[in-house]
């Protein structure tokens, strides 16, 4: 059937993933040479500003990169299976069943003319045709309990629910078939602060209970610092830092990550000056030569402008794409 | 607005250069015959009185008398109308289904070869004269393949479909009331739509036959009209397919056909309905030519025949009916739209 | 008093772009191909008296219903006429009719539209109502009705068709004018006391020309098809004039004989001519009103 690669130990492995958008004005490399691993019951945070490629990275994991984008190179392996080589029908089966995706805006993600319960029945019966409608509803009710919505709401239409509730419905739909991985793309951006925390906690709770892995995509570093095990920082399509959340907080290495960290307000620091990172992200049609970040980097050195730095491994499992650390690598 | 329509048709026949009766007789006009006809048809009355009679007549369903044989225009139109209605319905079904299907295919293969081919197809079919396409189909599918009939509406060797229900008028009461112009003893309550009637009659053979005859004419008309639907569906679907809930549905692993038709199309459907209403006028225009090509005994062929006879009252009557037909359909579509619009209902 | 600065209309901007049509992607190609078709047919019809091998209305120049051969490239019809010559010369009627009807439509429809929409109020509503009723009516039926009273001939056909299409022009102009009417530079012109007529001709007109051009090209295509339809019904031109529509009409009788060339070639020409205009219309409309993409 499918090839089994060497990396069977990890739940999800991505190697050298490159995704381009082929537009009329030229090719845009939304993601370049991204690699990551994910294990069971791990939470991976993917942080970056708009246009950093984080959403594209997420979408490519389920092969739903929108036109005119396409995955140009790289490997994606889920539980040993090569996702890129799968046939369309196999991929369709995996979506929702082994990897689920939770979108940013729950209002526009649900079918406005369908009742919530129909969303569930349809989802379950598509993947498991032998399940009866009653059984499907049974499962839906159970999921509602898990995510904390009242049972009666299952008969409503999407527009009759509040934002927080809709997002819980999305999460319930994502859980319905017990996937191995859930990818949540900005799950709380469309919600208010109080609900945000609840949803994020919910995701982690469910992760433990169901034994899945979670990928949290967000622009907000503060969200993932507390709640994820590993963090990837993306800038202009590149992974610029890859570390455990503890390491990222205590020994932030890449100048961009440092900038992000400094821009998080900390309620305990009375005199804190919030610093924004000067400048704006590069135009991906004509990116600057060398390191993508050098125009905004206060540590920029001559070699930064010539060629892009590779990822240096400074500690075990702490990778950074910056010439500042080129001498600190563990292995060459 | 219907009033304006009717007024314009009225003026058309009378005010345009040429008095209708004179036009009818052309050059060899025997003045006595001219006066006689003029009097019979009420065309010698003052204009405003004619107008009044005209409107009143329409209200009562009286569309005047034919110049050819003084028979009731209304009656003739009434018997020709269902043929056109049936043709129109099936043609529109073909146009819309074909258009939607191709439009969906095109929108999914956006800017790729399949898309271009379909778009060109839509443009080209519009540029083909309806009657030419009709003749081509007659030649190829009809005569070439010996498969489909190329004219007429039904097999002349068997009786036309009629519903089994009828009203028996042969009671003393009714024969006294209704002038026995037609010597009818019973009236079959048939719709005049052969496909429908044959089902009512329970006769499958007649049903198949009526479809067989409908095939080429409605295919012709439907093909030519499909272009508009292709374009509309394509652009609508393109936008709808990019909406979030469609991507979310795919992310849940729902089947592509379900996503395309169940999710995206449902929302792109309403504009198509409006288009059906708008295209109806064009449909009728095309029907005139199609009926002529296929000798289909409908209103279109009626009007063409009447032109050859210079039967202006009949032409006037037919034009009125066409106009009314379009107005009623537009009204129906408007109502249906208001009913189906989720903003109003949901 | 200072002359008001004439705002450079978007149309003249676009005129400058015509030079680079081929670089304009699909839309540009559509226009080019369409224009080539149309011009080719016009030229062909114009020079036909000199290049056709036979007189198109002369009968019995060859055997009856002969298939295509070297002597008769497109074969002959049931009157022994050479189809090839008829094809070469047959476009004249349609071109004349469509040209004439477009001219009439422009001459009547444009001023009417401008007047009604700029004046507003009662005149606008009255004219609008009449136009809407006409517009809703099945075009061919209306043309038939008018042509049946007027009689045959090029001018009558053109008039019938023109009446049917004036409402389209009216609508387009009206919607364009209404949107422009509200823009500030019209108000500015008003404020400095420019006369209505000046405003109309110098500001409004140049900006609606693109839309008018698009409607006109579609009008051409429709006119050709309608003219063919009218001829088919018998309301066209007398048989002394070679016309593709006539060929189709008479060809009807010959279907069972399998002489496909009698209707095939003239029909093809009609399609090409209508297609030419349609492509131009498509390309122009895409060029001048670019669709939002991605």
Top residue of C98, C148, C282, C283 to mutate, by most chain B CBs within 10 Å, is: C148
The distance from CA B261 to its chain's CA centroid, rounded to whole angstroms, is 28
What is the rounded CA–CA span in Å between residue C162 and residue C220? 10
Q: Tell me the pLDDT tens digit for each residue of A255-280.
A: 888 888 887 776 666 666 677 777 77
For residues C116 and C228, membership in a common domain is answered with yes
Q: In what order do the strands lie in the sheet with A318-320?
A: A99-102, A181-185, A213-218, A43-47, A230-235, A238-244, A318-320, A312-315
Dihedral, CA atoms, A200, A202, A205, A207, nearest 10 degrees? Answer: -70
Q: Which of B243, B245, B254 sits opposite A122 (nearest CB)?
A: B254
Three-state secondary-structure class, residue A320? strand
Alpha-helix residue ranges (DSSP H) falling in B41-147: 47-60, 73-108, 113-127, 130-137
Contact C28, C21 (CB under 8 A): yes
Contact A102, A174 (CB under 8 A): yes
The pair of structure tokens assigned to A203 is 């995701």
What is the rounded CA–CA span in Å between residue A105 and residue B248? 10
Element (H, E) at A77: strand A69-78
What is the rounded CA–CA span in Å between residue A83 and residue A62? 8
Contact C150 B20 (CB under 8 A): no
Half-sphere exposure of A243 (CA within 13 A, CB side): 24
Tokens 């492995």 identify what position? A13
Contacts of A112 in chain B (CB under 8 A): 245, 342, 346
What is the rounded CA–CA span in Å between residue A39 and residue A79? 10
pLDDT at residue number A209: 86
Residues 6+ apart with CB under 8 A from C16: none
Confidence of residue A231 (pLDDT cuts 50, 70, 90): very high
Q: Tell me the pLDDT tens digit for each residue of A233-247.
A: 998 888 889 998 888
| Of the candidate ranges A274-278, A292-296, C210-214, C259-263, the one whose mean pLDDT is the lowest | A274-278
What is the rounded CA–CA span in Å between residue B302 and residue B77? 8
For residues C32 and C48, membership in a common domain is answered with yes
Contact B131 C221 (CB under 8 A): no
Maximum CA extent, chain A:
67
**Is residue A156 packed enough to be buried (19+ CB in 10 Å), middle (13-18) or exposed (0-12)?**
middle
Tokens 């823009």 identify what position? C183
pLDDT at residue number A215: 92
Contacts of B249 in chain A (CB under 8 A): 111
The verdict on residue C200 lying in a domain is yes
**Highest mean pLDDT (candidates A197-201, A227-231, B149-153, B195-199):** A227-231
The verdict on residue C2 lying in a domain is no
For residues C248 and C237, membership in a common domain is answered with no
The pair of structure tokens assigned to B137 is 């189909």
- Contacts with B, A 70-99, CB within 8 Å: 92-97
The distance from CA A222 to its chain's CA centroid, rounded to whole angstroms, is 15
Confidence of residue C289 (pLDDT cuts 50, 70, 90): low
The pair of structure tokens assigned to C178 is 């209404």
Q: Tell me the pLDDT tens digit for each residue of B213-232.
A: 888 889 999 999 998 899 88
The verdict on residue C6 lying in a domain is no
% pLDDT > 70, chain A? 93
pLDDT at residue number A44: 92
The verdict on residue C23 lying in a domain is no
Q: What is the CATH number of the domain that holds C226?
A: 1.10.3720.10
- Contacts with B, C 209-228, CB within 8 Å: 221, 225, 228
Handedness of CA C278, C281, C285, C287 (dihedral sign): positive
For residues C113 and C217, membership in a common domain is answered with yes
Which residues are bridge partners to B65 per DSSP?
B72
Q: Which of B244, B255, B263 sits opposite A108 (nearest CB)?
A: B244
The verdict on residue C21 lying in a domain is no
- Contacts with C, B 59-98, CB within 8 Å: none
User: Among all residues of chain A, which has the CA nearest to that of B243?
Assistant: A108
The mean pLDDT value for A171-188 works out to 88
Summary mean pLDDT of chain C? 77
pLDDT at residue number C14: 54
Three-state secondary-structure class, residue A216? strand
- Contacts with C, B 1-20, CB within 8 Å: 1, 4-5, 8-9, 12-13, 16-18, 20
Contacts of B298 in chain C (CB under 8 A): none
Give me the residue spans of the domains in chain A. 12-98+179-325, 110-178
pLDDT at residue number A101: 92
Contacts of B241 in chain C (CB under 8 A): none
Three-state secondary-structure class, residue B62? coil
What is the rounded CA–CA span in Å between residue C188 and residue A61? 57
The mean pLDDT value for A315-321 works out to 84
What is the rounded CA–CA span in Å between residue C125 and residue B301? 36
For residues C237 and C104, membership in a common domain is answered with yes
Which residues are bridge partners to A218 per DSSP?
A47
**Is residue A167 packed enough to be buried (19+ CB in 10 Å), middle (13-18) or exposed (0-12)?**
buried
Residue C4: is its pLDDT beyond 50?
no
For residues C135 and C84, membership in a common domain is answered with no
Parent domain of C279: 28-62+69-90+242-289
Which residues are bridge partners to A312 per DSSP?
A320
What is the rounded CA–CA span in Å between residue B206 and residue B196? 10
Mean pLDDT, 10 residues at a time, chain B of 346 residues: 68 61 65 70 68 70 68 78 88 91 85 84 88 84 68 67 58 50 51 73 78 86 91 84 84 85 72 84 88 86 83 80 84 80 53
Q: Tell me the pLDDT tens digit for each residue of C182-196.
A: 665 566 666 666 666
Q: What is the DSSP letter of B63?
A: -
The mean pLDDT value for C194-214 works out to 71
What is the ipTM metric for this complex? 0.81
For residues C145 and C54, membership in a common domain is answered with no
Contact B73, B63 (CB under 8 A): yes
Summary mean pLDDT of chain A? 84
Q: What is the DSSP letter of B170?
A: -
pLDDT at residue number A29: 87
The verdict on residue C17 lying in a domain is no
For residues C50 and C155, membership in a common domain is answered with no
**Is residue B112 packed enough to be buried (19+ CB in 10 Å), middle (13-18) or exposed (0-12)?**
exposed
A-B CB pairs within 8 A amount to 67
Distances (CA, A) of C255 to B150, C59, C248, C251, C289: 10, 20, 10, 7, 44
B-C CB pairs within 8 A amount to 136
What is the rounded CA–CA span in Å between residue A161 and residue A215? 26
pTM of the predicted structure, to 2 decimals: 0.78
Which of these, A110, A130, A108, lies nearest to A120 by C-alpha position?
A: A110
Which of these, A3, A66, A13, A5, lies nearest to A40 by C-alpha position?
A: A13
Contact A103 B254 (CB under 8 A): no
A12-98+179-325 carries CATH number 3.40.50.300? yes
**Counted domains in chain C:** 2
Residue A1: is its pLDDT beyond 50?
no
Residues 6+ apart with CB under 8 A from C117: C124, C173, C174, C177, C178, C181
pLDDT at residue number C8: 46
Confidence of residue C7 (pLDDT cuts 50, 70, 90): very low
| Cα angle: C44, vertex C49, C53; to 5 degrees | 95
């Amino acid at each position: 059937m499918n090839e089994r690669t060497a990396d069977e130990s990890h739940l999800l492995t991505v190697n050298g993933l490159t995704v381009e958008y082929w537009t009329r004005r030229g090719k845009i490399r939304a993601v370049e040479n991204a690699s990551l691993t994910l294990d069971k019951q791990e939470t991976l945070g993917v942080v970056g500003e708009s246009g950093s490629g984080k959403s594209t990275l997420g979408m490519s994991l389920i092969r739903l990169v929108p036109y005119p984008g396409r995955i140009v190179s790289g490997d994606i392996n889920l539980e040993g299976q090569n996702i890129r080589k799968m046939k369309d029908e196999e991929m369709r089966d995996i979506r929702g069943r082994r990897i689920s995706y939770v979108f940013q805006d729950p209002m526009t993600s649900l079918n406005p003319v369908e009742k919530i319960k129909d969303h569930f029945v349809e989802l379950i019966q598509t993947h498991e045709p032998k399940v009866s409608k009653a059984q499907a509803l049974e499962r839906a009710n159970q999921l509602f309990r898990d995510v904390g919505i009242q049972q009666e709401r299952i008969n409503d239409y999407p527009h009759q629910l509040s934002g927080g509730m809709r997002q819980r419905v999305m999460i319930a739909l994502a859980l319905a078939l017990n996937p191995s991985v859930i990818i949540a793309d900005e799950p709380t951006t469309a919600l208010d602060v109080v609900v945000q925390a609840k949803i994020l906690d919910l995701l982690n709770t469910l992760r433990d209970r169901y034994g899945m892995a979670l990928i949290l995509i967000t622009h907000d570093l503060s969200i993932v610092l507390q709640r994820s095990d590993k963090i990837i920082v993306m800038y202009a399509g590149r992974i610029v830092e890859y570390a455990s959340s503890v390491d990222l907080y205590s020994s932030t290495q890449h100048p961009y990550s440092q900038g992000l960290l400094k821009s998080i307000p900390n309620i305990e620091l009375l005199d804190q000056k919030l610093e924004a990172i000067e400048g704006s992200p590069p135009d991906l049609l004509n990116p600057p030569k060398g390191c993508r970040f050098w125009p905004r980097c206060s540590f920029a050195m001559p070699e930064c402008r010539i060629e892009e730095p590779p990822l240096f491994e400074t500690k075990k499992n702490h990778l950074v794409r910056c010439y500042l650390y080129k001498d600190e690598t563990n292995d060459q | 607005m219907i009033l304006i329509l009717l007024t314009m048709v009225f003026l058309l026949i009378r005010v345009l250069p040429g008095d209708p009766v004179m036009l009818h007789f052309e050059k060899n006009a025997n003045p006595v015959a001219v006066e006689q006809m003029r009097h019979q048809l009420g065309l010698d009355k003052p204009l405003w009185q004619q107008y009044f009679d005209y409107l009143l007549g329409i209200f009562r369903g009286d569309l005047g008398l034919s110049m050819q044989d003084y028979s009731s225009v209304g009656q003739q139109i009434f018997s020709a109308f269902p043929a056109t209605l049936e043709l129109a319905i099936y043609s529109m079904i073909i146009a819309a289904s074909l258009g939607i299907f191709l439009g969906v295919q095109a929108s999914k293969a956006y800017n790729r070869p399949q898309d271009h081919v379909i778009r060109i197809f839509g443009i080209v079919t519009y540029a083909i004269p309806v009657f030419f396409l009709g003749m081509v189909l007659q030649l190829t599918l009809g005569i070439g393949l010996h498969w489909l009939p190329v004219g007429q509406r039904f097999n002349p060797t068997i009786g036309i479909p009629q519903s089994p229900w009828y009203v028996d008028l042969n009671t003393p009461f009714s024969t006294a009331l209704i002038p026995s112009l037609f010597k009818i003893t019973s009236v079959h309550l048939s719709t005049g739509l052969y496909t429908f009637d044959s089902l009512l009659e329970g006769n499958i053979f007649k049903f198949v036959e009526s479809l067989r005859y409908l095939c080429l004419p409605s295919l012709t008309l439907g093909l030519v009209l499909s272009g508009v639907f292709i374009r509309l569906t394509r652009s609508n679907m393109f936008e709808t397919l990019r909406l979030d809930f469609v991507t979310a549905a795919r992310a849940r692993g729902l089947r592509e056909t379900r996503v395309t038709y169940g999710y995206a199309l449902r929302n792109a459907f309403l504009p198509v309905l409006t288009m059906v209403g708008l295209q109806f006028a064009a449909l009728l225009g095309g029907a005139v030519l199609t009926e002529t090509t296929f000798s289909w005994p409908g209103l279109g062929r009626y009007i063409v025949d009447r032109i050859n006879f210079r039967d202006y009252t009949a032409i006037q009557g037919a034009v009125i009916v066409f106009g009314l037909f379009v107005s009623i359909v537009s009204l129906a579509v408007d109502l249906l739209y208001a009913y189906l619009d989720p903003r109003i209902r949901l | 008093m200072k002359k008001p600065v004439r705002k450079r209309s978007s149309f003249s901007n676009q005129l400058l772009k015509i030079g680079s049509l081929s670089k304009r992607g699909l839309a540009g190609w559509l226009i080019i191909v369409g224009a080539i078709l149309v011009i080719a047919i016009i030229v062909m019809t114009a020079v036909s008296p000199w290049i056709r091998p036979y007189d198109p209305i002369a009968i019995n120049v060859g055997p009856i219903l002969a298939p295509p051969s070297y002597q008769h490239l497109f074969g002959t019809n049931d009157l022994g006429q050479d189809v090839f010559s008829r094809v070469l010369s047959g476009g004249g009627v349609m071109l004349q009719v469509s040209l004439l009807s477009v001219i009439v439509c422009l001459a009547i429809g444009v001023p009417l539209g401008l007047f009604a929409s700029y004046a507003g109020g009662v005149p606008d509503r009255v004219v609008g109502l009449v136009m809407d009723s006409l517009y809703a009516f099945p075009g061919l039926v209306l043309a038939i009705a008018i042509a049946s009273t007027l009689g045959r001939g090029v001018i009558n056909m053109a008039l019938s068709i023109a009446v049917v299409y004036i409402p389209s022009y009216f609508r387009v102009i009206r919607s364009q004018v209404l949107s422009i009417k509200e823009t500030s530079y019209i108000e500015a012109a008003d404020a400095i006391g420019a006369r209505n007529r000046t405003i109309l001709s110098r500001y409004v007109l140049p900006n609606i020309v693109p839309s008018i051009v698009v409607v006109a090209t579609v009008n051409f295509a429709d006119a050709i098809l309608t003219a063919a339809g009218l001829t088919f019904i018998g309301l066209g031109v007398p048989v002394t004039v070679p016309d593709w529509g006539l060929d189709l009409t008479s060809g009807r009788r010959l279907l069972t004989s399998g002489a496909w060339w009698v209707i095939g070639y003239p029909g093809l020409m009609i399609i090409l001519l209508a297609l030419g205009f349609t492509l131009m219309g498509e390309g122009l409309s895409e060029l001048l009103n670019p669709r939002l993409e991605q």
